[in-house]
């Protein structure tokens, strides 16, 4: 469930990035790297888990599924937090600088 | 347990390598390309440091989210020894085994995907550079 949630987040962020590319003022590319990186790593995790559990891997208990979904959504939120922090630090539109240092005429 | 440490270590190495390469590079190489339509534009050629940054981004992003998952499952804690499995010898052995199998596989697959991205990007770049040359040669 965590893998699935992250893959969907990666696909959505890639579509959003493609729509805005190549200007990328909102730095959505960062989100793509984060979610795709995590998706690849969780895919490996899933393969190892499948090798251990076999067909049971696909029939998790409802409580495990709910916990994994909760974790997946939390992970997506963390990715968004990292992205927003990077966006504010890089400040490509100069909005933060303008808000911090009000110019005197 | 601590599988994310392997891609995280690779992320540190690639980030440093990309920074060093970027600082050593003088002027970005520019080429004439045909990106869309028929207009020929001057664009910056993809440098290896930029490509390496892609790998670094993939590894950092994945490692950060995986580290969070380990905190979620209580495998990483904010007190010494930080990784719960490192508390006893049996747990440490299991942790090292997981790092050597799952961790190395994670780092390997991310690197393999990055090599694929580079191959596609290089092919697209070559195609875009070739096109204007062919057009001017035909005239």
- Domain limits, chain B: 5-130
pTM score, whole prediction: 0.88
Rounded mean pLDDT, B101-116: 96
**Contact flag B61-A34 (C-beta cutoff 8 Å):** yes
The ipTM value here is 0.89
Within chain B, residue ranges assigned H as helices are 5-24, 48-72, 89-98, 104-138
B112: nearest CA partner in chain A: A40
Give which of B71, B72, B93 is closest to B83, Cα–Cα: B71
In chain B, residues 101-130 whose CB comes closer than 8 Å to chain A: 101-102, 105-106, 109-110, 113
The whole-angstrom separation of Cα B108 and Cα B112 is 6
Q: Is the pLDDT of residue B11 over 80?
A: yes
In angstroms, how far is the first alpha carbon of chain B from the final one? 63
A36: nearest CA partner in chain B: B58
- pLDDT for the residue B138: 46
In chain A, residues 49-88 whose CB comes closer than 8 Å to chain B: 71, 74-75, 78-79, 82
* 3-class SS of residue B23: helix
The whole-angstrom separation of Cα B66 and Cα B9 is 13
The minimal CB distance from B61 to the residues A37, A47, A71 is found for A37
Q: Is the pLDDT of residue B137 over 50?
A: no
The minimal CB distance from B110 to the residues A40, A48, A79 is found for A40
The minimal CB distance from B66 to the residues A38, A47, A82 is found for A38
Give which of B115, B124, B15 is closest to B61, Cα–Cα: B15
Q: Which residue has the higher pLDDT, B23 or A73?
A: A73
Rounded mean pLDDT, B10-21: 94
Give which of A87, A96, A94 is closest to A20, Cα–Cα: A87
Confidence of residue B9 (pLDDT cuts 50, 70, 90): very high
Q: What is the pLDDT of residues A34-91, one digit of tens each?
A: 999 999 999 999 999 999 999 998 999 999 999 999 999 999 999 999 999 999 999 9
**Contact flag B63-A71 (C-beta cutoff 8 Å):** no
Interface check A36 vs B, CB under 8 A? yes
Residues of chain A positioned with their CB less than 8 A from the CB of B110: 37, 40-41
Q: Is the pLDDT of residue A28 over 70?
A: yes
What DSSP assignment string belongs to B4-15?
Answer: THHHHHHHHHHH
């Amino acid at each position: 469930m965590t893998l699935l949630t992250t893959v969907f987040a990666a696909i959505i962020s890639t579509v959003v990035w493609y729509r805005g590319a190549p200007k990328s003022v909102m730095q959505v590319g960062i989100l793509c790297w984060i979610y795709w990186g995590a998706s690849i790593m969780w895919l490996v995790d899933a393969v190892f888990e499948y090798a251990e559990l076999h067909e049971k891997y696909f029939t998790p208990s409802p409580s495990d599924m709910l916990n994994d979904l909760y974790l997946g959504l939390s992970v997506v939120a963390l990715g968004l937090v990292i992205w927003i922090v990077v966006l504010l630090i890089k400040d490509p539109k100069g909005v933060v600088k303008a808000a911090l240092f009000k110019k005197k005429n | 347990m601590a599988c994310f440490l392997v891609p995280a270590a690779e992320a540190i190495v690639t980030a440093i390598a990309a920074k060093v390469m970027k600082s050593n590079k003088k002027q970005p190489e520019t080429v004439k390309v045909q990106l869309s339509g028929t207009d020929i534009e001057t664009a910056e050629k993809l440098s290896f440091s930029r490509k390496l940054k892609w790998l670094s981004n993939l590894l950092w992003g994945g490692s950060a989210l995986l580290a969070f998952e380990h905190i979620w499952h209580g495998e990483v804690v904010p007190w010494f020894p930080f990784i719960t499995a490192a508390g006893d010898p049996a747990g440490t052995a299991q942790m090292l085994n997981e790092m050597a199998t799952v961790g190395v596989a994670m780092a390997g697959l991310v690197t393999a995907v990055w090599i694929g991205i580079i191959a596609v990007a290089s092919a697209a770049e070559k195609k875009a550079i070739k096109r204007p040359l062919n057009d001017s040669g035909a005239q």
